[in-house]
Structure 1
Amino acid sequence: MRILLSTYGSRGDVEPLAALGAALQAHGVEAKVSAPGDAEFAALLARAGVTMAPAFAPVREWAKEMINRSRSASPEGRARLIAAQAAEIVARQYEALSAAAEGCDAVVAFGLFPSCAAARLVAEQHGMRYMLGTFCPVWLPSPHNRPHEYPSHPLPPGVTDNRLLWEMDIRTKNALFGEAVNGQRASLGLLPVENVRDYVYGNPVLLACDPTLGPWPDSDLIDAVQTGAFILPDERPFPDGLEAFLDAGPPPVYVGFGSISVAREAGFTAIEAIRARGLRAVIARGWAELGPVDDRDDCFAVGEVNQQALFGRVAAVIHHGGAGTTVAAARAGAPQAIVPQIGDQPYWARRVAELGIGANDGAVPSAESLSAALDVALAPETSTRAAAVAGKIRADGAEVAARLLIELAGQPSR
């Protein structure tokens, strides 16, 4: 049996698929991951022992270009840019996935909606079973949450009926992505689909997040199978000097914003707030290329690092609220202070605050607000609560999903 796992996104999108691919291979399934061809992802998948099939383009430079193009655009201009990007992604990703899917029995797609649309088309053309996956409940139709708001397609003020809002979401996704999906279908000699959202989502959907951090109340709008987060075991040693830094004083505070390249100012503010308490910092460079602001010895900068080991040795984690960082900190029992920016990050920040394991500082932190968030994260009761929640975080999500996919892949495609 062969299963193709597809995503287009940052490390938080790729590392879980490396974990799932490794779990599938432990069951004798030949797994392949289509992911952006950045060197860091190639190394990650090689470490997991999973074959990589490069997606249509590396992601870091592509993402920077898209951010730069959208910054000066109006909401209507950003909507047109999304539609144009979607057409490019669907067409180019369809070609990449068509080659990667040869000989596969199923494809499971995560990441950007247009990339998943390409995977759905490839599955249809190859007669393979298809399943959409997501790392956060907020992306799925449910009476318990509102849909994502897109540029030039705001959710109407005053409307509190989530069912109505999800009906409107169908029209929004048709407006933004319909031409991209149906244009590609036309090039393949296929009839158009009227509802591109439900076509791409399918039913059921694989929900790969921890049920304690991101619970999924049953929804009659879609069937989601929640497996738990996909966690890739990490046995890598610390980079040179980090162990000595950790041993040289009390537990430091970790500061890192992953793929959020606009977080430099938040990083400087975090260092200021940490120093104001007489604490030290471990600074993750990330896409923002963060680093020490001076030559004092109370900060240590790292690149790629074993978060599973590091988070167990820090006093708190200041981060952007990505799904992977959130679950890594929660699993390690590290209190969190989150500065959410985009996508599902506000959801994870809210959940951390609701669980009492950290603070939600909002998208534009000031020295005062981040200081207050750090006060919450460093409070003894937060540490106690974080330790308690850590014991509830599941580590078997990839295994649960692997068994489910093996079962589904053996059934006739629909």
Structure 2
Amino acid sequence: MRVLLSTIGSRGDVQPLVALALQLKALGQEVHLCAPPDFRDWIDSLGIPVTPIGPELRKSALFSAPLAAPAQFSPRRRRQLAEATVATQFETIAAAAQGCGIIVAATALQIAARSLAEMMKIPYVFVAYCPTVLPSPHHAPPPFPLPGQVPAPATADNRELWAGNARRFHETFGSLLNSHRASVGLAPVSDIRSHIFTDRPWLAADPTLGPWPDPADPTVFQTGAWILPDERPLPSELETFLQAGDPPIYFGFGSMGAPQNLNQVMIQTARALGRRAIVSRGWAGLSLVDDEADCLAVGEVNQQALFARVAAVVHHGGAGTTTVAARAGAPQVVIPQLYDQHYWARQIHHLGIGTAHAPGTPTTESLTTALKHTLRPDVAARARSIATAVRSDGAQAAAQCLIAAETHSSF
């Protein structure tokens, strides 16, 4: 079996598919990835064929915009972006899928993948990395994926919010998708979101950290999070820093943009608490404020090894970072900015393994308050306890299910 794994998103969207790809390869299957060009060299280095799709995300307004100054898109610009991504998907994913027996698509912006699978008469699987991406009366949809967007109020009616979400999907992509479908001889679809998600979506989230809210619901298949094992040693400079004192606080915002003073807030907060700091540069290019020995800036490193050796992890609330920190037993402060990050912030608070900071840009005072709570011994103990329940076999389970289901044509 040859499998196409496709996504449009940051490293947090791509890395779980890489984990699944390696599991499929280990089971003797052929795999091809379709992912943004930002990750081509990395995927190539793992021996996985990859087709780049779309422009570099790191240079896009969505990921380069500071948290305090979210990107603004006019209705005309939104329409242009929608037209461009749908056209690109139909062209690029169609080429990448040649010879494949199944397409697995991650993230809700995979508009073309199911139609292409239908055209090629091959199975299709949609996967979400967070429960709130999938419709349920038990939760609201995530806010639109732009910085500065906030979740719906708790008093809102979830069914009405999901109905509005479906309308927005169809208004944005309906005519575009159906035009492309007509060009390849496919009938129009009346509900774009349901078409993309299917009536049997997969949920690649850990059942302890992000359980599907209705265990009796047979329509969602929860595999567990797809975690990519990382055996890399930590850089010598980082190893020396860790050994030179008490466990530091890790600060990182992954692929998010950041205001210019965020590094100052993070380091001032650590020093106010008498703690050392590790600052991850990330896509925002965060840096240190001085040359003092109590802080260290790092690039992309083995978070699985690092998080087991820090006092706390302060981050943006991506599904991957949240899961890795929880699996390492590290207490967390989540400062959500967009989309599903608000859900993970709430879950960290609900599970008692950290603090949900208010969305947006932190101040030294607000971050100090959040970290004081997170660094309490009872929170650290709870984080270590939860860590023992976080599974690491989600990608393996998903790979086995894909092979078994394809063999028996049960999609």
What is the TM-score when the length of structure 2 is the normalising length? 0.92
- Tell me, which stretches of 5 or more residues in structure 1 are unaligned? none
What corresponds to 2:26 in structure 1? 26
What corresponds to 1:207 in structure 2? 203
SS in 2 for 1:313: coil
What corresponds to 2:339 in structure 1? 343
**How much has 1:169 moved relative to structure 2?**
2.3
Q: Cα deviations across residues 289-325 of structure 1 (Å, max 9, x unaligned)?
A: 0011111111111111000000011111010010010
What corresponds to 1:292 in structure 2? 288
SS in 2 for 1:241: helix
Are the structure 2 counterparts of residues 407 and 138 from structure 1 closer, same or farther at C-alpha, using a change threshold of 3 Å? same
SS in 1 for 2:127: strand
**How much has 1:220 moved relative to structure 2?**
8.6
- Tell me, which stretches of 5 or more residues in structure 2 are unaligned? none
Match of 2:401 among 399, 404, 409: 404
- Rounded Cα–Cα distance in structure 1 between residues aligned with 2:335 and 2:77: 26
Residue identity (%) = 47
2:351 corresponds to 1:355: yes
What corresponds to 1:93 in structure 2? 89
What corresponds to 1:53 in structure 2? 51
Aligned residue runs from structure 1 range 13-412, under 5 A: 13-38=13-38, 41-64=39-62, 71=70, 73=72, 78-111=74-107, 113-114=108-109, 116-150=110-144, 160-218=156-214, 223-363=219-359, 364-412=361-409
Q: Cα deviations across residues 54-112 of structure 1 (Å, max 9, x unaligned)?
A: 123322113458859x9574xxx54543333122111112211111101100000012x
- Rounded Cα–Cα distance in structure 2 between residues aligned with 1:375 and 1:158: 27
Query: 1:18, 1:44 within 8 Å by CA — same for their partners in 2?
Result: no
- Rounded Cα–Cα distance in structure 1 between residues aligned with 2:279 and 2:70: 27
- Rounded Cα–Cα distance in structure 1 between residues aligned with 2:316 and 2:191: 33
- Rounded Cα–Cα distance in structure 1 between residues aligned with 2:348 and 2:154: 27
Query: 1:142, 1:220 within 8 Å by CA — same for their partners in 2?
Result: no
What is the TM-score when the length of structure 1 is the normalising length? 0.91
Query: 1:239, 1:302 within 8 Å by CA — same for their partners in 2?
Result: no
SS in 1 for 2:176: helix
Query: 2:119, 2:186 within 8 Å by CA — same for their partners in 1?
Result: no
- Rounded Cα–Cα distance in structure 2 between residues aligned with 1:332 and 1:155: 28
- After TM superposition, the structure 1 stretch with the greater mean CA deviation from structure 2, 268-277 or 343-352, is 268-277
Over the aligned positions, Cα root-mean-square deviation in angstroms equals 2.5
Q: Cα deviations across residues 144-186 of structure 1 (Å, max 9, x unaligned)?
A: 10123449x9999897432233233222211122122123223
Q: Which has the higher contact order (CA 8 A, sep 6+)?
A: 2
SS in 1 for 2:254: coil
Aligned length: 406
SS in 1 for 2:32: strand
Task: Report the structure, 1 or 2, having the larger helix content.
Answer: 1
- Rounded Cα–Cα distance in structure 1 between residues aligned with 2:363 and 2:150: 27
SS in 2 for 1:300: strand
- Rounded Cα–Cα distance in structure 2 between residues aligned with 1:411 and 1:118: 25
SS in 2 for 1:318: strand
Query: 2:63, 2:255 within 8 Å by CA — same for their partners in 1?
Result: no
- After TM superposition, the structure 1 stretch with the greater mean CA deviation from structure 2, 255-264 or 160-169, is 160-169
Amino acid across the alignment from 1:233: P
